[in-house]
A and B are shown apart, each in its own frame.
Chain A
Amino acid sequence: MATQEQNITEGALTDEPRFEGDKTVNIQGLKKAFGMHEVLKGVDLQIGKAENLVVLGKSGTGKSVLIKCMVGLLQPDEGRVEVLGQEVPKLKEDDLNQVRQKIGFLFQSAALYDSMTVRENLEFALRQSKVKDKAEIDKLVEEALDNVGLKEAIDKMPSELSGGMRKRAGLARTIIMRPELILYDEPSTGLDPITSREISELILEIQKKYKTSSLIITHDIECAKITANRIIVLRDGVVTAEGTFEELENSEDEWVRSFFNK
């Protein structure tokens, strides 16, 4: 990371109007099962405008499934999933793609395109934007990589990167479009404490600068502490606890408290 204070230029990259409602995400009674295996059993959650919501929960409780339902990668069995004012499961492909351009999605596995260099991966993300000028694209790519401290790896192939570097490249690819809503799937997993902290601060910075709403799935309590405006805890397919970091840290429920090493 070049500087502590990250240099983030402002301005949206699409011509699409910004969503003006006060609930960026509104999910009610979301159910999803795979065969006999019920993963989500009626999840309710809201994300306010420019709010960072952290989702905690044990491995395999369906956190990744939850955010995949939010972008239409998975079709929910039941319930209402409203994102940026649109009911995602009911959208036609073209409308869905319009909404998706306003959403950033960081995959747990980073999901970099293997056949492209890091630079091309980021340029590819900009294909749908209004920026067409080569010099400007270069500037945006370098800036995004600088923000995640990956400038020197710009011309490497994903196979040449370490796990943490892939994650950061994926993060750069997610934030380069300056989406209105970002869904981070474990942004700091596999990173050292220092980089991890820097990534958490970057997430906070992005929220402040672009008024982005975010959902952050994490097992990293430090990251939750830095980024969260509000935290929810998933257990057995439902939301069992909700509150600020301090509230949950001192929760009545021992199981919830145990997430905070208490």
Chain B
Amino acid sequence: MCGNTNTQQIMSEKIQAAPTDGVKDTSFWQRIFSGKFRQSLANFFDEVGQLTMFTGKFFKELVTPPYEISEFLKQCYWIGNMSLPLVGITAFIMGLVFTMQSRPTLAKFGAESWLPAMVSVAMVREIAPVITGLIVAGKVGSGIGAELASMRVTEQIDALEVSGNRPLKYVVVTRVLACILMVPLLVLFADGIAMMGSYLGVNLTDKTTLRLFFSHVFSALDFIDIFPAFIKTFFFGLAIGIISCYKGYNANSGTEGVGRAANSAVVVASLMIFIIDMIAVQVSDLFMK
């Protein structure tokens, strides 16, 4: 207590001594919005502003010719090649496990025949897009972040620039576009594979034919399940591409800049996937009502 009043005294002395005009009121909010917190808040908004400007530049470069078709195709191939096996395996396991886990609950209500329908809706609407997005953010996002960052620190981006090529067009636009195209394709692939996993899961206890299984699946899936889920995957691709390119493109010099760029590309892109997912469900609810 004594110590407390002491500090209070010192504080009030300081406040009186401070040559401020107006009343100095150290309210809760003022204390919150000062010092470190304020700094990091400022950094956050600065980063958001920079990222928005970067996205603006991306769209500007996107629509002005010339178009770097061959580099774009190369990046598409690379993204597919990097993530296809991992996406396939994960989707298969998710389909299988999800089916096995849901079965007891449905069995309680005697609704095992609903299993394919329930699993397929969950997979297509939510699980396959998010899992694929996270895998691509991890593999491709870190890859792009590290690649662009090392191009930055070894002056390759400067070299592109002085040779009169537009690095933003050649390096960034091609990679972001490739992400936008490839993520939805990978999600479709994951949907298919997850269904195969689910089919196996159903078959572990009951006997179904593949045909019967898929007729259940397709009668359960509506346009409303597929379409919004498909649209949001384009935004997943955009987010992964833009964020990892931004992090790499603006990396600090030095080798530790490369690691940091790759790391924060993955973290921010993954977080962004969840945020987009949340927005997407709100937006599609809005239209469905």
Of the candidates A100, A109, A112, A114, which one forms a contact with B164 in the assembled complex, judged by CB atoms under 8 Å apart?
A: A100
Give A191 to B162 CA distance when docked, in angstroms: 25
- Residue A245 at the chain B interface, CB threshold 8 Å: no
**Are B162 and A109 neighbours in the complex by a CB distance under 8 Å?**
no
**Are A111 and B156 neighbours in the complex by a CB distance under 8 Å?**
yes
- Residue A128 at the chain B interface, CB threshold 8 Å: yes
Give A1 to B151 CA distance when docked, in angstroms: 30
The interface residues of chain B lying within 8 Å CB-to-CB of A71 are: 162
CB distance from B152 to the nearest CB of A (A): 11
**Are A101 and B164 neighbours in the complex by a CB distance under 8 Å?**
yes
Near A by CB (< 8 A), chain B positions 144-190 give 150-151, 154-156, 158-166
B155, B160, B164, B166 pick with most chain A CB within 10 angstroms? B164
**Are B158 and A125 neighbours in the complex by a CB distance under 8 Å?**
no
The interface residues of chain B lying within 8 Å CB-to-CB of A109 are: 154-155
CB distance from B59 to the nearest CB of A (A): 16
The interface residues of chain A lying within 8 Å CB-to-CB of B161 are: 73, 100
Of the candidates B155, B164, B165, which one forms a contact with A107 in the assembled complex, judged by CB atoms under 8 Å apart?
A: B155
- Residue A97 at the chain B interface, CB threshold 8 Å: yes
CB distance from A51 to the nearest CB of B (A): 21
Give A65 to B199 CA distance when docked, in angstroms: 63
Of the candidates B151, B155, B163, B166, which one forms a contact with A125 in the assembled complex, judged by CB atoms under 8 Å apart?
A: B163
- Residue A103 at the chain B interface, CB threshold 8 Å: yes
**Are A103 and B156 neighbours in the complex by a CB distance under 8 Å?**
no
**Interface residue tally of chain A, by bracket?**
20 to 34
Residue of B nearest to A125 (CB): B163
- Residue A127 at the chain B interface, CB threshold 8 Å: yes
- Residue A113 at the chain B interface, CB threshold 8 Å: yes
Known: A109-B154, A111-B154, A114-B150. A100 touches B159 (CB 8 A): no
Give A73 to B158 CA distance when docked, in angstroms: 7
Known: A114-B150, A114-B151. A128 touches B165 (CB 8 A): yes
- Residue A105 at the chain B interface, CB threshold 8 Å: yes
Residue of B nearest to A121 (CB): B159
Contact with B along A90-131 (1 / 0, CB 8 A): 000100011011010101010111100000000011011000
Contact with B along A62-106 (1 / 0, CB 8 A): 000000100101000000000000000000010001101101010
Give A103 to B155 CA distance when docked, in angstroms: 17
Residue of A nearest to B150 (CB): A114
Known: A127-B165, A128-B164, A128-B165. A114 touches B154 (CB 8 A): yes
Give A128 to B161 CA distance when docked, in angstroms: 12
The interface residues of chain A lying within 8 Å CB-to-CB of B151 are: 114
**Are B156 and A113 neighbours in the complex by a CB distance under 8 Å?**
yes
Give A237 to B63 CA distance when docked, in angstroms: 43
Residue of A nearest to B158 (CB): A73
Give A103 to B158 CA distance when docked, in angstroms: 14
Contact with A along B106-150 (1 / 0, CB 8 A): 000000000000000000000000000000000000000000001
**Are A111 and B164 neighbours in the complex by a CB distance under 8 Å?**
no
**Are B163 and A100 neighbours in the complex by a CB distance under 8 Å?**
yes
Near B by CB (< 8 A), chain A positions 110-162 give 111-114, 124-125, 127-128
The interface residues of chain B lying within 8 Å CB-to-CB of A105 are: 159, 162-163
Known: A114-B150, A114-B151. A107 touches B158 (CB 8 A): yes
**Are A114 and B156 neighbours in the complex by a CB distance under 8 Å?**
yes
Residue of A nearest to B160 (CB): A113
CB distance from B230 to the nearest CB of A (A): 32
Known: A100-B164, A127-B165, A128-B163. A111 touches B150 (CB 8 A): no
The interface residues of chain B lying within 8 Å CB-to-CB of A93 are: 166
Give A125 to B159 CA distance when docked, in angstroms: 10
Give A98 to B162 CA distance when docked, in angstroms: 10
Give A112 to B165 CA distance when docked, in angstroms: 14
Give A21 to B74 CA distance when docked, in angstroms: 44
Residue of B nearest to A97 (CB): B164
CB distance from A247 to the nearest CB of B (A): 32
Of the candidates A97, A111, A112, A128, which one forms a contact with B158 in the assembled complex, judged by CB atoms under 8 Å apart?
A: A111
Give A125 to B155 CA distance when docked, in angstroms: 15
Give A100 to B165 CA distance when docked, in angstroms: 9
CB distance from A87 to the nearest CB of B (A): 17
The 9 closest A-B pairs by CB, nearest first: A111-B159, A111-B155, A97-B164, A101-B164, A105-B162, A100-B164, A128-B164, A71-B162, A107-B155
New A-B contacts (17) at CB < 8 Å, excluding given A71-B162, A113-B160, A128-B163: A73-B158, A73-B162, A97-B164, A98-B164, A101-B163, A101-B164, A105-B163, A107-B159, A109-B154, A109-B155, A111-B154, A111-B158, A111-B159, A113-B159, A114-B150, A114-B151, A128-B165
What would 27 A/B residue contacts be, using CB atoms closer than 8 Å?
Answer: A68-B158, A71-B162, A73-B158, A93-B166, A97-B166, A98-B164, A100-B163, A100-B164, A101-B163, A101-B164, A105-B159, A105-B162, A107-B155, A107-B158, A107-B159, A109-B154, A111-B155, A111-B158, A111-B159, A112-B156, A113-B159, A114-B154, A114-B156, A124-B165, A128-B163, A128-B164, A128-B165
